[in-house]
Chains A and B, each alone.
Chain A
Amino acid sequence: MNNFYKIQKKAIEEWQALKNSSEPVIYVGMGSCGLASGAGEVWNSVRRTIKKNNLKAQVLKVGCIGPCYLEPFFDIQKPGLPRMSFNNVDVSKSRKLISEYIIGGETKLKPLGHLGENKEEFEGVKSFWEQPMLKNQERIVLRNCGIIDPENINHYIARGGFKGLLKSFDIGPEGVIEEIKTSGLRGRGGAGFPTYKKWQFCRNAKGSPKYLICNADEGDPGAFMNRSLMEGDPYVLLEGMLIAAYAIGTNHGYIYIRAEYPLAIERLKIAIQKMFNLGLIGKNILNTGFNFNIKIKEGAGAFVCGEETALIASIEGQRGMPRSRPPFPAVSGLNGNPTNINNVETLGTIPNILREGGKWYSGFGTEKSKGTKTFALVGKVRRTGLIEVPMGTTLREIIFDIGGGTLKPFKAVQTGGPSGGCLSEEFLDLPVDYESLADAGSIMGSGGLIVMDQGTCMVDVAKYFLNFTSQESCGKCTPCRIGTHKMVEILDKITKGEAEMRDIEILEGLTSTVKNGSLCGLGQTAPNPVLTTLKYFKDEYLAHVEEKRCPAAVCRDLVEYRVIKEKCTGCQRCVSVCPTGAITGPRSEPHNLDPEKCIKCRACYEICRFDAIAGDAIVIV
């Protein structure tokens, strides 16, 4: 332990030196979202500019700070000033910032906010955390994301890292489990099972060696909470795993992570190596006699492998097929031994609970759902990104206050991914917690929140999900394999305008067969998107069946595109975008659309610029 205090002292010194640096420091948002927005190019350009101008300045990578729609973030901290955060910075804007703000001293470009410790306004610049998207959030799991360099372990340590681990060694395994019980933490991977109970089962189970697996498969398409956390603060997950392993009594850890997350894998590997170098992973950790090793297993692209028994089969090198439980993995899991599986966010919450106390954590959230939850706020909402809010926050607060609402009128929000449901406007005041969402026919899931507006067709969404689950069904049990397939067939008929009322009845019948007859969670929950859309958006089904009409103008077979001559200005944008040359016409004259050539890819519809007036220059008949 003494050794750790030395490490800690050094880390704090390094962090303080950075904050009080006599040279400018530049922080570039280099999460996957930043990189997809061009942060890599900015990074390279900044390094070149600095070298060329012989500037004395440090450049650091940070993870995603949350508002992905403003990426890339580019923060500059000048000596004696707080870190100023600039958004949507491309290469030319970054050059301008360096020459004007760093070299020149003044810039007209306005920072989005400052990231100083003091949240007061600073010389006309508000705190970053006072923006509408951030001010109602409570950042516990995400507290380091976007703030620290995820490859620098000292940054993590300086901000309270491994204090939770030390506390755990102090109070012993049973004490840890007790603390988690007090916190009220429930699994963040979807089912919401109390974490302390799982740990207790596994701790009490006979058999060795035991295993701890971190489920980083994040299979819900449209969700990225786990990715962001692993990229922005890999250490918090690893510390959480150390604590869990210590409480359960195991020396073997696995992280099962999807291969689509190469950056998260790389950062985890670096973090593991750095912890190993400091004696925080491996043999005799901090001289306590506790040993722990972590292996990374890359998934190979199968949604069902997020289910715990399928995940175990996949680690064992087999087809990822679930098996019936019991026995639960806590009794017989990997290689037939007791195994505890937790989600990334669950484990990432643990160090915070141990550091600040279970009682503190249980102060957030509702009666039955304690603490905070992260959500990937995406879809047709103005401000997209990763957020963290106390449990019990309403959907309205999330979508409208934090997300800034929708462009077209709001229609629905989808929670829980392929296992969840679509909720309509009347549910906007629903507090987000495990029970409320389940009562409404959806689930909390892992945290995907997909907002839909009047431009989204709910039948199409239901078809999308069923298509997904039928393709991802492992094929082991018949209700899921055949049932989901049949449901897709019927939904397909509906979206093509070929269905009759009887088909809706058959569809309803199938939902209960699949729900009740399937072996694992995939099949049992697969009908949820259909059930909820049928319940809350029945009129859309009826429009497709009775009128052969798609109200949102999404379903290809029910839509025809044409140019409204009176509204078309002849700007040629649609001509240039059409992949089949179906639209023709000279500049400044109304264009022609040849329905024979049209493949209904909607590119013209999307690109037509004159929003309110000419947004329907290409209309649907």
Chain B
Amino acid sequence: MKDTIDAILKKHIPKEKGNLIPVLQSVQKKKGYISPESVNRISNYFRISRSSIYGVATFYSQFRFNPPGRHSIKICLGTACHVQGGDFILKALQAEIGISPGETTDDMRFDLDRVACLGCCALAPVVMINNKIHSRMSVIKLKELLNKYE
């Protein structure tokens, strides 16, 4: 844990506070989420208070503060996906895997989130699983798709 964060921090000059967001992004990329421990270490390095770091991090929807599941499901709820029924897919999926956006299943198999648009609006509704975008989703297609992710 320590080493990865150290490696990320070392790439940035402590004085350049503008690097806070890129650092948080790198930490999340490597660790999957922003843990209290990571915040402590960033705080010491940049000499920014922990509350300021949380202030910035919670402002942006990209950051999560609990460990992710093995597979991340993101349901697009942008306008195009909304009018094509993205909301209904979310509803059905919630019933299927039993969690709400922002949560992770007990067996750590899936975490669920919504996003505001993945830029594939022409193929709405879309769902992203682990960085792969699946287009023209329906409840049944998503159900079949999830079987492929253990």
Contact = CB atoms under 8 A, between A and B. Distances in A.
Interface of A: 32-33, 35-37, 68-69, 71, 218-224, 227-228, 259-262, 297-303, 314-320, 376-380, 384-386, 414, 417, 448, 450, 452, 456, 461, 464-465, 468, 474, 576-577, 579-580, 599-603, 606-607
8 contacts: A36-B133, A221-B78, A379-B84, A380-B84, A580-B95, A601-B139, A603-B138, A603-B140
Given A69-B122, A224-B122, A456-B83, A316 B117 contact: no
Contacts of B116: 219, 221, 301, 303, 468
Interface string B77-93: 11111111100110111
A288 B115 CA distance: 45
Interface stretch (B2-10, B59-67, B102-110): B59-67
A300 B131 contact: no
Given A259-B62, A376-B122, A607-B138, A450 B56 contact: no
Contact of A579 (B92, B115, B122): B92
Given A300-B21, A606-B138, A69 B123 contact: yes
For chain B, give the interface size range: 35 or more
A599 B95 contact: yes
B18 A71 contact: no
Q: Which 8 A-B pairs have the closest CB atoms?
A: A222-B79, A221-B78, A68-B122, A300-B60, A221-B117, A603-B139, A384-B122, A301-B61
B99 interface: no
Given A68-B122, A71-B123, A223-B117, A414 B79 contact: yes
Nearest to B120: A36
Contacts of B118: 32, 260
Interface string B119-137: 1111110100001011100
Contacts of B131: 262
A503 B66 CA distance: 39
A320 B60 contact: yes
B96 A378 contact: no
Contacts of B62: 259, 299-301
Contacts of B60: 299-302, 320
Given A317-B21, A461-B83, 19 more contacts: A32-B133, A36-B126, A227-B119, A260-B117, A260-B118, A300-B24, A301-B60, A320-B60, A376-B122, A377-B122, A378-B80, A379-B84, A384-B123, A385-B122, A579-B93, A601-B88, A602-B88, A603-B92, A603-B140
A567 B78 CA distance: 34
Nearest to B17: A317
Given A36-B135, A298-B25, A319 B80 contact: no
Interface of B: 17-22, 24-25, 55-56, 59-63, 77-85, 88-89, 91-93, 95-96, 115-124, 126, 131, 133-135, 138-140, 143
A314 to B, nearest CB: 7
B82 A464 contact: yes
A302 B59 contact: yes
B29 to A, nearest CB: 10
Given A320-B59, A602-B85, A607-B140, A417 B79 contact: yes
Contact of B95 (A223, A228, A378, A601): A601
Given A221-B116, A222-B78, A603-B88, A579 B96 contact: yes
A602 to B, nearest CB: 4
Contacts of B21: 300, 314, 317
Contacts of B126: 36
A222 B140 contact: no
Contacts of B81: 222
A68 B84 contact: no
Nearest to A321: B59
Contact of B120 (A32, A259, A448, A474): A32
Contacts of A302: 59-61
Contacts of B56: 317-319
B120 A224 contact: yes
Nearest to B55: A319
Contacts of A468: 116
Contacts of A452: 83
Nearest to B133: A36
Contact of A32 (B79, B95, B119): B119
